Structure formats: structure tokens, C-alpha cells
Structure 1
Amino acid sequence: MELEKNNYINSLFEFYEPLLTKKQANYIELYYADDYSLGEIAEEYNVSRQAVYDNIRRSEKILQAYEDKLNLYHSFVDRNDKLDQIQSYVEQNYSKDEKLNSMISNLETTEEQ
């Protein structure tokens, strides 16, 4: 469960980082991406562990609120799932169609950017 939450918050962070304040972004990145403890972040910013904890929890709620309104992450996941299904179908049924395979490769490249 904890690993799933970490992955989810990291994913939301990738989409919505520019909408966070610099401090919120720094705390989230250190805690979730760089695996810093609350104490390590508190020491680095010369604040209490409770202040770091409160900021991280508030930032998580903000990220979730952005996702609830904009739905960018879930749309991205849904598009990638559909693209995987199309790719699998093409590989099974049209593996020799170079143009079709090229078009799907271009879609994958576009999605990653």
C-alpha cells in the first residue's frame, strides 16, 4: 500500500509540480522521490519535523485536488493502456505492416514527451 501511494504521489508530482510552491515541490521531491526522512528534510530547512509533515500532507491534498479537477494523470494512464492494447493487436495481426507499426511507434514517442 505504501509503495503504491509513493508511486501515485510521484506520478501526480510529475504532472502538477509547476503548480506547487517551490517549498512544497522541494519537500515532496525530497520525501517521495529522494526518500528523505521527515527529520532529514527538517534539518536541511531548519524547521520542525511537524512543519515538514504538515507541508507534505497539505501538498498531497493539493496534488490530489488538481488531479480531481484536471484528471491529467488518469487520462494519461488510460491513453497508455489503450495504446498498449492497439500495439498488441497490431503485433498479433499486422506485424509485417511497416507503416502501421511506424505510426504506432510515433504515437508512443508522442505520449512519452
Structure 2
Amino acid sequence: MTSEEMLGKTNRVNMLFDFYGSLLTDKQRTFLGFYFHDDYSLGEIAAEFDISRQAVYEHIKRAEQTLEDYETKLQLVAKHEQRKAVADRVEAIFAGDVAARQDELKELVRKLYNID
């Protein structure tokens, strides 16, 4: 996996963690926090909790899958990203000629209402 792919995965897990982290077990939250937020290695986490690296890896993988399962069911991150894209476009419109973009603004407002 390239460093760009790793960064993308880390950002994805952190976003999912922000939305669904409170639904994880304490151990899952702790391990994910150490691994993705604090950049601890599997070995460092294993030493901290006196367990094997494989056990840490399994806890992290299970927690990642749980976060993805929540996202599949609830789609909170996807809806957040849709709202952000619309808000970014509205900001861009206001940076230009607003009067010429009234129809686009109306369409963006309609999209915001239909995200959920």
C-alpha cells in the first residue's frame, strides 16, 4: 500500500471514528486511537497492553470493520460529505456574481433538503 493510500485509509478511519467511535467498545476505541490518532505501532500497543501484536491487529481490524458496518447502515459520513460539497459550492457562488447564479443556488438548497 502506498503512503498516499495509507493516508487516505487513516483519514477515512478517523472520519468514521469521529462519527461512530462512541459506539465501539472501550478497547476498540483505545486501540484505534493509539494506532490511527497517536501513530503507535502494533508492537508499541501490544507492549502497552501486554498482548501479542496479532491480538492488537485483530482488535483494530474488527473495529475498522465495525465502523464500516455502521457507515453502511447509517451513511452519516456520506451525508456529511454531500453537505460539505454543497456548502463549498455555495461559498464559491457567493465569491462571484450571486445574481447570475440564483438558479444554481436554488438547486443547491434543494439538494441540501434531499440529502436525508
TM-score interval for Structure 1 and Structure 2 normalised by the shorter chain? 0.7 to 0.9
Query: How many residue pairs align between the two structures?
Result: 94
Q: 2:53 aligns with which of 49, 69, 85?
A: 49
- Gap regions ≥5 residues in structure 1: 95-113
Q: TM-score w.r.t. structure 1 length? A: 0.81
For residue 96 of structure 2, give the secondary structure of its aligned residue in structure 1.
helix
Kindly provide the CA deviation profile for residues 40-93 of structure 1, in whole angstroms up to 9, marking residues without a partner as x: 000111111010000000000000000000000111011001000011101212
TM-score, with structure 2 as normaliser: 0.79
Paired AA for residue 26 in structure 1: T
Residue identity matched to 2:47: E
Sequence identity of aligned pairs in percent? 44
SS in 1 for 2:51: coil
Report deviation, 1:17: 0.6
Runs of 4+ in 1 over 2 A off after TM superposition: none
Q: Which amino acid aligns with 2:8?
A: E
Aligned to 1:10: 14
